[in-house]
Homo-oligomer: A and B are copies of this chain.
Amino acid sequence: VANTPNYMLIAERLRKRIESGELKGGTQLPTELEMREEYGASRNTVRDAVKWLASRGLVEAYPGRGTFVTKRIVPFVITFSADPETGFGGGEGQAYVLEIEGQGRTPSVSAPQVGIEVAADAAPDLGLPAGAQVISRHQKRYIDGEPWSLQTSYYAVSLAERGATRLRDPSDVEQGVVGYLREILGIEQVGYVDRLGIRPVTSDEELFFELHAGSQRSVLENRRVAYDADGNPIRLTVSILHPDRTEIAIIEGQVPESARQERSWPIRHGRQPRPREGR
């Protein structure tokens, strides 16, 4: 009755071999021509099966070399809630560096690319009229040398006009932008709102994240609006996060110290906790 197509049957057989551990990360799959014989199907059908696996990130195909089982990754944990020690967290600035180093990994950041642009998306979040100009500061961020996130912060140009001119400099602000704004303009960041969502990766991001071309994966996108003590928005930060390398922790209320320790697990593909049927 279950008339599952052939390419799916082949994909399932391969998936089981991968998930059982028979085919470990890094192992080369049989070539398409070998599998053509092995499964008694045409090369195109085998290819459909491999494509299905590739789109879920289970295997990666390289022209001229072969198809290999993807190595599992232990994701980085970033905490999206206040930490009593480091103050505000959430993968930005100082807190980000401390948290990643705490996990025994090495964070690095590209020099900021700075520009002035018309606020499109950013305008409403910053409380600016549509079409207003904003300063954008863009950074690429790496962990252990591997691409991890694309981050862009937007500020009203008025901040620079009022004296915070370094916002326009394409260089790092050593004490952090938060500290800089406090020092120069007396603006205190007292809170923020994060909006986290998920969407398909763009081709630019595919390139940066070194996701396999056509992998058709999704990324996490976070939009953080930070506020000063008067309740005015200071800053919008948009972060695009690597899907496999990111895990977000949120701590609320009172939890034991042991639970604060960053524990993480490699992403599980395949069967999940609760199949079952019935509405």
Contacts and interface: CB of A to CB of B under 8 A. Distances in A.
A228 B247 CA distance: 24
A184 B246 CA distance: 39
A198 interface: yes
Nearest to A227: B255
Given A238-B273, A273-B121, A278-B113, A198 B243 contact: yes
A33 interface: no
A7 to B, nearest CB: 10
B279 A110 contact: yes
A274 B138 contact: yes
Contact of A199 (B214, B238, B264, B268): B268
A253 B188 CA distance: 12
Contact of A55 (B55, B190, B229, B260): B55
Interface string A228-242: 010111000010100
A250 B194 contact: yes
B216 A56 contact: yes
Contacts of A52: 214, 216
A216 B225 CA distance: 31
Interface stretch (A24-32, A61-69, A74-82, A155-163): A74-82
A192 B136 CA distance: 35
Given A199-B269, A200-B269, A227-B255, 16 more contacts: A52-B214, A75-B197, A81-B252, A82-B252, A90-B252, A150-B274, A191-B252, A197-B267, A198-B220, A198-B246, A202-B271, A227-B253, A227-B259, A232-B256, A233-B259, A250-B250
Interface of A: 52, 55-57, 75, 77, 80-82, 88, 90, 110, 113, 121, 136, 138, 140, 150, 152, 189-200, 202, 204-205, 214, 216-220, 225, 227, 229, 231-233, 238, 240, 243, 246-256, 258-260, 264, 267-276, 278-279
12 contacts: A80-B250, A81-B81, A81-B252, A191-B254, A193-B255, A193-B260, A196-B247, A200-B269, A217-B218, A218-B243, A227-B253, A227-B259
